[in-house]
């Protein structure tokens, strides 16, 4: 491995199920969800940025670059990944590692294992996956991935052509996945907060 990795926190969504509130800024004990996300990501990457649409002043308490989508129209997480790839290329990074701003318990070895899988499978992108016990199958978490900067133009073209579903595109470019196991009954490490009820679950999980 060895190449530099840019951490990109995807916080550009509209959060419609939370009334438009930035999910990462919601309280999780004495901290915010984003605090926990950044603390988990920091040891895993060389530099961090936040992908934010709208007024970046919302995140002014965080001393990190805030970059918007480079394509207008709120096209979803892939647009945030593209913005991250552009920033990475302009600043000399070989890879980006994307994480969601509303997922506070993701594994502390996520980036290391995903990069190792990229080398093992010679894949330009690797997504995280975990087992869904209710559905009895492995589920990919498409906002959690490592992406090589060589994907930039391909992704821009895909977004221009109307592609929005992440796994549809990652499969097309030879992507792989890396599995993170957890015990049945335990909180999925990629549990994310989309609703008020899920915020309660996250707040309870933060005290476990």
Please list the residues that pair with 145 across neighbouring strands: 98, 127
Cβ(80)–Cβ(126) under 8 Å? no
In the predicted structure, residue 100 carries a pLDDT above the cut 50: yes
Predicted local distance difference test score (pLDDT) of residue 17? 47
Task: Write down the H helix ranges in 91-184.
Answer: 110-121, 152-160, 166-172
Candidate from 12-16, 60-64, 86-90, 155-159 with smallest mean pLDDT: 12-16
pLDDT tens-digit map of 122-146: 999 999 999 999 999 999 999 999 9
Per-residue confidence (pLDDT) for residue 203, from 0 to 100: 86
Is 19 a residue whose pLDDT tops 60?
A: no
How far is residue 133's CA from residue 106's CA, in Å, rounded to a whole number?
18
Three-class DSSP category at 116: helix
From 114, 185, 180, 189, select the one nearest 148 (Cα to Cα).
114
202 neighbors 33 (Cβ within 8 angstroms): yes
- Evaluate if residue 174 carries a pLDDT over 90: yes
Residue 18 has pLDDT above 60, yes or no: no
Domains, the chain, with CATH or none: 5-205 (3.90.550.10)
The pLDDT tens digits for 144-167 are: 999 999 999 999 999 999 999 999
Burial degree of 57 (CB within 10 A; 0-12, 13-18, 19+)? exposed
């Amino acid at each position: 491995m060895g190449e530099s990795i840019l951490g990109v926190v995807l916080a550009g969504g509209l959060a419609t199920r939370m009334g438009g509130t930035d999910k990462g800024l919601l309280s999780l004990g004495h901290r915010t969800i984003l605090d926990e996300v950044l603390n988990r990501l920091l040891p895993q990457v060389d530099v961090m940025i936040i992908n934010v649409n709208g007024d970046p002043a919302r995140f002014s308490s965080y001393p990190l670059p805030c970059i918007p989508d480079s394509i207008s129209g709120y096209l979803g997480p892939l647009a945030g990944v593209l913005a991250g790839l552009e920033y990475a290329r302009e600043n000399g990074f070989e890879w980006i590692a994307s994480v969601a701003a509303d997922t506070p318990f993701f594994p502390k070895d996520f980036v290391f294992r995903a990069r190792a899988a990229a080398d093992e499978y010679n894949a330009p992108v690797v997504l995280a996956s975990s087992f869904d016990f209710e559905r009895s199958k492995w589920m990919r978490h498409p906002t959690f991935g490592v992406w090589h900067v060589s994907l930039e133009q391909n992704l821009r073209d895909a977004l221009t052509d109307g592609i929005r579903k992440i796994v549809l595109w990652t499969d097309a470019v030879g992507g792989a996945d890396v599995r993170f196991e957890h015990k049945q009954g335990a909180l999925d490490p990629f549990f994310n907060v989309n609703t008020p009820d899920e915020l309660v679950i996250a707040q309870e999980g933060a005290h476990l």
